[in-house]
Structure formats: structure tokens, C-alpha cells
Amino acid sequence: MRVLPFFNLFLIYWFLVLEGCAVVRVPYKIIRGTLKGSVWVVKGTYEFTTGTTKLLYKIGEFTFEVVSAPLDWPLLSKDIETIDGLPVKEAIRLGRVKNSPYRVNGKTYYPMSVAKAENYGETGIASWYGYETLQQKGGDMTANGEAFNPDGLTAAHKYLPLPTHVKVTNLENHRSIIVRVNDRGPFPSEQNPKSGDRIIDLSAGTARRLGFYGKGTTKVKVEVIQLKEE
């Protein structure tokens, strides 16, 4: 994906720290990508900062709420065995997740670099996941330590750095949405080995908004949203 030069535009962003309600200003430059020439304006921040437990921000019309999960919560992607050669929870605690290699059912996956991810775009099959979390009490943790919200605008990807924002377009009805990639998957399963061929797993809430919740899968185009911090 080709990136045009930076705009000389600075915006003020805010993130909310629940404990003490501290407010911090963070300046960003916005860059224009090839997403129909649009400039995606972020109001908030899209990265956890030390001491934060909750983030609130918007990208265009889409609102994101990111909550840090307690370390004793179970991992949503239970097949992940190690991250960066460490036990999963230890890697999350140490912040060694973003694009670290990780192991699933004996296979090691190597996520792409941040620089390579900036040019990522792919067309393929999307599914949605997290059905079991709609029926249970308590919570689950994504692969980067966030609380999974089945109704939130989130996704799982095998190779993108965590977190990354992507635009997902359902090519069957041309609906589009922006989601935060904060988990790993989809992976092959014993019941359906071909499930690992899917390029992205979306939350149930995202699947509803894209119009394929009842169908289960759909053909999509996935494009990275680029945001540069100054």
C-alpha cells in the first residue's frame, strides 16, 4: 500500500486512566493511505501506556474501548503454547508480544515487522469467533493481554503486530468497518483443518455489522490503517 507524504496536521489525543483519572495529551501526525483517499482521524490513543487500565478512542465513526485483562483470566486462544519462547502470561506481563514469534500446536508462527505491516493488504476468507464467551460469566484474555469483548470491534490475525488497526470490507455486500487486531488466529483445528486458511477472525459484534454473523464466513478485503506518532 503506497503512503503519501505526511500532513502538517497535529491533533490532541486523550487517554483515560481509571485510577486517579489522569489525563495525558499525545500529539500525532496523520498520514493519508490508499483507503479511497481518506484521512482517518484518531481521537484518543491506540496503545496502552504504563499504568493504564482502560483506553477510549475513536477512528472516524467507530468507537473503541480497550480494557486490560487481569492476568488470571484464561487465554481466549487456548492453543497458544508460548510467545517469544516464554509462557504466554509471562510474555504478556513483560510486554513481549507485539510481533514476537509464538507457538501453536507445535508450529511456530513469525509475525511480520511493523514496517512490513504498514503495506499489508490481503483478500481472503474471514470467520468470526468467541461464541463461547457469549454464554459464560467472567472474561477471557486476548493474546496481547486485553479483555475480550465479543461485541467489540476486534479481530485475530496470525501475522500482524498486536495491536494493529485494519479496515475490513465484506466483498459480498461491500460493508466496511475498522477493527483493532488484538489476538492471534485463526488456526487449524482437528474438526476443521482448513480453518487455518482463513485470513482473519472477527468478533461476533463485527460479524453482525458486516452482515455475515448467521453465515459464519465471508470473503473480505483487509487493509492496514496507518497512524504515525510523533
1 lies in some domain: no
Pick the residue with more confidence: 34 or 192? 192
Shared domain for 63 and 89, answered yes or no, is: no
**Per-residue pLDDT tens for 50-91?**
677 888 888 888 899 999 999 999 999 999 999 999 999 999
**Per-residue pLDDT tens for 124-141?**
999 999 876 655 566 899
Domains held by the chain: number: 2
Shared domain for 58 and 148, answered yes or no, is: no
Average pLDDT over residues 1-10: 35
pTM: 0.80
Shared domain for 105 and 181, answered yes or no, is: yes
Q: Of the residues 39, 67, 95, which one is the last residue of a structural domain?
A: 67
Shared domain for 53 and 100, answered yes or no, is: no
Shared domain for 49 and 112, answered yes or no, is: no
75 lies in some domain: no
Domain that holds residue 11: 6-67
Asked if 159 contacts 109 with a C-beta cutoff of 8 angstroms, the reply is yes
Asked if 76 contacts 133 with a C-beta cutoff of 8 angstroms, the reply is yes
Distance CA 66, CA 55 (A): 5
Shared domain for 212 and 116, answered yes or no, is: yes
CATH of the domain at 181: 2.40.40.10
73 lies in some domain: no
Shared domain for 31 and 56, answered yes or no, is: yes
Asked if 179 contacts 225 with a C-beta cutoff of 8 angstroms, the reply is no
